[in-house]
A = this chain, B = another copy of it.
Amino acid sequence: MKIDPQNPADLSAQIASAIRDAIVSGALIVDQRLPSEAELSEQFEVSRPTVREALKRLAAQSLIRTQRGATGGAFVNRISFEEAYSQQITTSTLLLSMNAVSFETACEARYALERACAGLSAKRRTADHLATMRAEIHRQSQPGLTDEAFCASDVAFHRALVDGAGNPVMSYQLAGAVEAMQPLMNMITFSARDRARIVAMHGDIADAMTQQDAAAVEAGLTALEHETQQLAIHAFAARSAAKQGSAT
């Protein structure tokens, strides 16, 4: 580390990259203090604002944290699952919304991955997970619920299912897949009948989880995927029809 070619462009990006490599490679370990900004600017032969921009880049990725004061400075940060979750959700959400990923593709990926949890989750789920699922099912049955709140509850239900696997790595990987679907789901209007069907399916899945019947959980998820895909097809058909109508 600490070397920097005299490339003309974007010194702060180069410095950030050098420090990032040092962290990823293990040359800088967790909680280790980086040199002060003044020292870094000497080492890299740049000004302090440039060093600061590099450090902010790393802070944005939760690779470092900073403390003020006499013994302050920049420290290599231990990335928590929480931080990793929220980063993944932001990236996944934007990736889907910006790249014209079809609802079908995103939905397929989500349910395929979620089915991957079914086996472990059916086996390991605790009473807490079951209680959360039941509570969300109950919330979803409330009549006055907005579509948005319905979708949020849907996400919470599925997160409980995923967390039931008791594998934090899996929960982390799935967070993006499940949460990023929410904006897409929000584009759908759920009729009372649609909601009733979904709630029933959630009930079936919760029952299967209670009985630790992995195959039934998978089957329930597959049924739910099919239902969701159908709803989306109708919603988008209706939407494009309305567009046609207003255009003519």
Interface set of A (CB-CB < 8 Å, partner B):
12-13, 16, 20, 23-24, 26, 30, 49, 52-54, 56-61, 63, 78-81, 84, 87-88, 90-99, 101, 105-106, 108-110, 112-113, 115-117, 119-120, 165, 167-170, 172-173, 176-177
Query: Does the CB pair A59–B61 fall under 8 Å?
Result: no
Given A58-B60, A59-B57, A173-B173, decide whether A112 and B120 contact each other with a Cβ distance below 8 A.
yes
A13–B106 Cα distance when bound, in Å, is 31
Chain B residues with Cβ under 8 A from A165's Cβ? 112
CA distance A99 to B93 in the complex (A): 25
Alpha-carbon separation in the docked complex, A80 to B105 (Å): 16
State the CA gap A94–B88 with chains docked (Å).
13
In the A-B complex, the 4 residue pairs with the closest CB atoms: A116-B116, A57-B60, A109-B169, A109-B170
**Does the CB pair B23–A94 fall under 8 Å?**
yes
Q: A223 → chain B, closest Cβ, in Å? A: 16
A94 to B101, CA, bound (A): 28
Q: How far is the CA of A108 from the CA of B91 in the complex (A)?
A: 24
Task: Report yes or no: A84 in contact with B90, Cβ–Cβ below 8 A.
Answer: no
Q: Which residues of B contact A61 (CB under 8 A)?
A: 60-61, 87, 90-91
Q: Report A112 CB to chain B, min CB distance, Å.
A: 5
